[in-house]
């Protein structure tokens, strides 16, 4: 028989749609003046309480927030409270009768004489500073600000692109205090400060006139810098869940573009880490929660990547019906765009047809026909459909069921009228009929 040219192998059942999308971790840029570990997006009790207070903060509230954000607990917490109280009493005894400017300058001298021992770029915790004397710009500025508040001094924190300092306000005058340097009171052009500051810290002093590089912060803004640093250090170490709560707390306190960006990047890191570990469902649920709080298109794009990879993992495990339900449900909710929904749907139907073809070519062809009906024209489904129909026809011809084979062909040509393979089969079969 002219038609008996043999069965044709079906096209591959998996294409680009079945490959995992690349996920990346967006490490935060580390800045020394830049967030306790929880897995959700609820702020800590300390941050909620602090957010409700008016500024300037009372010294006790300032101290408790600084220690909480530093992560102080148990005996370390009690010791830090005691040391801070003793320092405040000693500073008041030595400086309390002086004029405000002299109090501010004298406080810096006391701290460098009695507390500050070693500059450490990463030592941002107030409790650690009080225990060891190791400090950076944030922890030293926080301690100075706390004691300045005990001494009745008015001040603002100043944040620069990579640094933090204090500005004491005395009437109409203002004095910068670079707390990392013993020469840092009203540094100006003081040669001792200029010679030592950059060499010790690695940063540049930003004078008052450079307003574009300086931002004044209130008490909450200053305390949020502890959170920024903890967030940055945890992120550097790949501890993305640990980095999240400080970002949440800082955003609650600041509510500005900088804190919102830090929170968004922390959320993206947590979700990407879930995805890289194959915990797609957890990552998607987390991003749903994050999306209810943050309006950031990057969250939606990453959620779609995780949904895609979740579906791919189900497909790889041959859980095809589960994968189809997943992509259909997420598309109906607007979480999966049309292109990945279609490409994943094509792969699922190809694999279902491939499995069915081991039993029955007609069943395999019908799966792809329904796929074309549901998805519209898809070259991969059309190619598979015509192959399974051809193989079905070959089987019918071998069984001498020519009329039935011709009916199958003509019905199939209504689905793929441009199929050269099926047109050739039709011609050969027509020539064999009596």
Quote the CA–CA distance of 58 and 40 in Å, as a whole number.
Answer: 30
Quote the CA–CA distance of 422 and 420 in Å, as a whole number.
Answer: 6
pLDDT at 77 over 70: yes
Number of domains composing the chain? 1
Give the pLDDT confidence score for residue 7 in this predicted structure. 66
Give the pLDDT confidence score for residue 191 in this predicted structure. 61
Quote the CA–CA distance of 34 and 52 in Å, as a whole number.
Answer: 23
111: in domain: yes
185: in domain: yes
Exposure of 39 in the CB half-sphere (CA atoms within 13 A) = 7
312: in domain: no
pLDDT at 227 over 90: yes
Smallest CA-to-CA distance from 30 within 121, 145, 143, 156 is with 121
pLDDT at 402 over 50: yes
Give the pLDDT confidence score for residue 189 in this predicted structure. 59
Retrieve residue 364's tokens: 């395999």
Quote the CA–CA distance of 260 and 266 in Å, as a whole number.
Answer: 10
243: in domain: yes
Quote the CA–CA distance of 312 and 305 in Å, as a whole number.
Answer: 10
351: in domain: no
Mean per-residue pLDDT for 372-384? 95
Which position has the token pair 């792969």?
Answer: 347
* Residue 230, CA distances (Å) to 50, 67, 247 in order: 18, 13, 9
155: in domain: yes
418: in domain: no
Give the pLDDT confidence score for residue 432 in this predicted structure. 76
pLDDT at 398 over 50: yes
Quote the CA–CA distance of 362 and 379 in Å, as a whole number.
Answer: 19
**Could you tell me the pLDDT band of residue 193, with boundaries at 50, 70 and 90?**
low
pLDDT at 297 over 50: yes
Which position has the token pair 């005691």?
Answer: 82
Judge whether 247 and 227 are in contact, CB under 8 Å. yes
Percent of the chain with pLDDT over 90: 81
Give the pLDDT confidence score for residue 29 in this predicted structure. 37
Compare 273 and 24 and report the one with higher pLDDT. Answer: 273
140-179: pLDDT as tens digits: 999 999 999 999 999 999 999 889 999 999 999 999 999 9
Listed in order, strand segments (DSSP E) in 120-180 are 134-135, 154-160, 163-170, 173-177
239-270: pLDDT as tens digits: 999 999 999 999 999 999 999 999 999 999 99
**CA atoms 218, 219, 221, 222: torsion sign:** positive
Retrieve residue 328's tokens: 């259909």
C-alpha 389: how far from its chain's center? Answer: 48
For residue 114, what are the domain limits? 45-255
Compare 50 and 7 and report the one with higher pLDDT. Answer: 50
Smallest CA-to-CA distance from 397 within 368, 428, 366, 357 is with 428
pLDDT at 433 over 90: no
328-349: pLDDT as tens digits: 999 999 999 999 999 999 999 9
Listed in order, strand segments (DSSP E) in 187-267 are 215-217
* Three-state DSSP state, 2: coil
331: in domain: no
Give the pLDDT confidence score for residue 119 in this predicted structure. 95
Q: What is the CATH number of the domain that holds 239?
A: 3.10.620
> Does a cis peptide bond (omega within 30 degrees of 0) precede residue 56?
yes
C-alpha 97: how far from its chain's center? Answer: 51
């Amino acid at each position: 028989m002219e038609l008996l040219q043999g069965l044709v192998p079906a096209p591959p059942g998996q294409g680009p749609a079945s490959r995992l999308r690349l996920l990346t971790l967006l490490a935060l840029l580390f800045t020394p003046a830049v967030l306790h570990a929880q897995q959700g997006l609820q702020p800590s009790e300390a941050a909620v309480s602090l957010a409700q207070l008016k500024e300037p903060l009372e010294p006790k509230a300032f101290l408790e927030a600084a220690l909480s954000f530093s992560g102080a607990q148990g005996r370390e917490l009690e010791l830090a409270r005691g040391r801070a109280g003793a320092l405040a009493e000693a500073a008041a005894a030595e400086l309390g009768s002086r004029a405000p400017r002299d109090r501010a300058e004298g406080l810096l001298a006391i701290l460098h004489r009695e507390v500050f021992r070693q500059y450490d770029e990463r030592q941002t915790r107030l409790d650690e500073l009080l225990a060891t004397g190791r400090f950076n710009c944030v922890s030293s500025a926080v301690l100075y600000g706390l004691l300045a508040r005990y001494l009745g001094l008015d001040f603002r924190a100043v944040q620069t692109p990579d640094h933090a300092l204090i500005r004491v306000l005395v009437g109409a005058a203002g004095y910068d205090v670079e707390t990392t340097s013993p020469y840092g009171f009203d540094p100006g052009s003081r040669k001792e400060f200029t010679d030592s500051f950059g060499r010790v810290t690695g940063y540049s002093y930003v004078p008052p006139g450079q307003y574009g590089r300086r931002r004044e912060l209130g008490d909450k803004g200053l305390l949020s810098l502890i959170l920024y640093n903890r967030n940055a250090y945890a992120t550097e170490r790949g501890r993305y869940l640990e980095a999240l709560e400080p970002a949440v707390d800082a955003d609650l306190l600041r509510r500005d573009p900088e804190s919102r960006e830090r929170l968004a990047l922390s959320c993206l890191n947590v979700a990407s880490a879930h995805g890289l570990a194959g915990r797609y469902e957890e990552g998607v649920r987390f991003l749903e929660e994050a999306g209810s709080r943050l309006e950031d298109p990057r969250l939606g794009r990453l959620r779609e990547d995780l949904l895609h990879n979740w579906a791919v993992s189900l497909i790889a495990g041959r859980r095809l019906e589960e994968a189809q339900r997943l992509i259909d449900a997420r598309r109906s909710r607007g979480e999966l765009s049309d292109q990945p929904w279609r490409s994943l749907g094509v792969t699922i139907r190809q694999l279902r047809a491939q499995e069915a073809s081991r039993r029955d070519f007609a069943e395999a062809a019908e799966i792809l026909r329904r796929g074309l009906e549901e998805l519209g024209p898809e070259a991969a489904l059309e190619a598979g459909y015509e192959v399974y129909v051809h193989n079905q026809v070959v089987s019918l011809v071998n069984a001498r069921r020519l009329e039935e084979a011709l009916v199958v062909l003509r019905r199939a040509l209504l689905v793929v009228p441009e199929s050269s393979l099926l047109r050739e089969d039709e011609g050969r079969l027509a020539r064999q009929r009596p």
